Structure 1
Amino acid sequence: MLTIHAAAEVRYVWDDPEPVKDGAVAVEGVRIAAVGPLAELAERFPAARVRRWPGVLGPARVHEGPLPHAPTPRERIHAVLKLGAVAVLEEHAGSPALRAAAERNDVVVLARTRPTALVELGRADLAVLDDDGVCVATVCAGRLVHRRR
């Protein structure tokens, strides 16, 4: 099912000097189908479900430090997702249990950090941040995996 994630502002990269106002990201499966103004994407994909988010929508983050403490590897990975990250560094996810939990949740384990960006046909990894930089929602490989209530 195609979903359009919309926000008052969409950034291709977090330090984007020209964000898309009243923007949106169309997601089909695990891929980004399009990025642009909501009006244009709604017209292009009329059957899509639209999710409107408060805050700024942009690429999901890479969690660069140690994973948050939690009782189980699954909960440690979920804590990363709640921060708007969908990738972790292998130096902090070295145990087989953490790697398995990351794989089950489509969280990428990277050898080193890398820039993130919204790219058409790229993996649909999105984060929505409020005015204070707190994560409102995380989409990992096209699935909504965290939503703050």
Structure 2
Amino acid sequence: MRTVHAAALLRLTLDAEPAAGQAVLVDGDRIGAVGPLDELTEAYPGVRVRRWAGTLGPALVHDGPLPPAPTPRERVHALFRLGVAAVLAAHVTEPGLRAAATRNDVVVLGAFRPPALVEAGRADLAVFADDGTCLATVVAGRLVHRRA
């Protein structure tokens, strides 16, 4: 199902200046398009639109040990609450933890790469409040965290 994610501001990379009025079309696990919200909703009539407060941008790459939790699954879900969709392989060497990351579509990277929103790229998005709190995380097109 196609979904347009829109927020007050959108940034394509973590260090890019945020722009107003922009949105991301997610089609399955990929980014179908990035552009003005009104153009995307016109080009895709009937598309579901999720509107978020805050700034929408690429999900983060976690560079460090995963947060402590009782189970590997809970450790991975703790990453989602931080806006993370990728981790470095050096921090998921335990088989159970690596399996939990894989089951939840977390990308395991051999080396750090800066996240970015690009058309045809994997739909890994996060929305952050002004204070840096993660409001929502989308991993491979699936909404995996939404702050209540």
After TM superposition, is the score higher than 0.5? yes
Deviations 1:45-83 (A, max 9, x none): 112100000000000000111100000000000001110
Deviations 1:6-25 (A, max 9, x none): 001111012113x3312210
Deviations 1:73-103 (A, max 9, x none): 0000000111000111111110110010001
- For 1:54, give the aligned amino acid: A
Count of matched residue pairs: 148
- C-alpha distance in structure 2 between counterparts of 1:148 and 1:134, whole Å: 9
User: In 2, are the aligned partners of 1:32 and 1:122 still within 8 Å (CA)?
Assistant: yes
- C-alpha distance in structure 2 between counterparts of 1:12 and 1:115, whole Å: 11
Partner of 2:21, secondary structure, is strand
Q: Is residue 128 of structure 2 the alignment partner of residue 133 of structure 1?
A: no
Partner of 1:97, secondary structure, is helix
Q: Is residue 87 of structure 2 the alignment partner of residue 88 of structure 1?
A: yes
Residue 121 of structure 1 corresponds to which residue in structure 2?
Answer: 120
- C-alpha distance in structure 2 between counterparts of 1:32 and 1:100, whole Å: 25
- C-alpha distance in structure 2 between counterparts of 1:107 and 1:16, whole Å: 24
Q: Which stretches of structure 1, 4 residues or more, deviate above 3 A after TM superposition?
A: none
- For 2:9, give the aligned amino acid: E
- C-alpha distance in structure 2 between counterparts of 1:72 and 1:66, whole Å: 14
Q: Is residue 2 of structure 2 the alignment partner of residue 2 of structure 1?
A: yes
Q: Is residue 19 of structure 2 the alignment partner of residue 31 of structure 1?
A: no
Any gaps of 5 or more consecutive residues in structure 2? none
- C-alpha distance in structure 2 between counterparts of 1:134 and 1:9, whole Å: 15
- C-alpha distance in structure 2 between counterparts of 1:124 and 1:116, whole Å: 11
- C-alpha distance in structure 2 between counterparts of 1:81 and 1:32, whole Å: 19
RMSD: 0.7
User: In 2, are the aligned partners of 1:138 and 1:144 still within 8 Å (CA)?
Assistant: yes
Q: TM-score, normalised on structure 1?
A: 0.97
Partner of 1:131, secondary structure, is coil
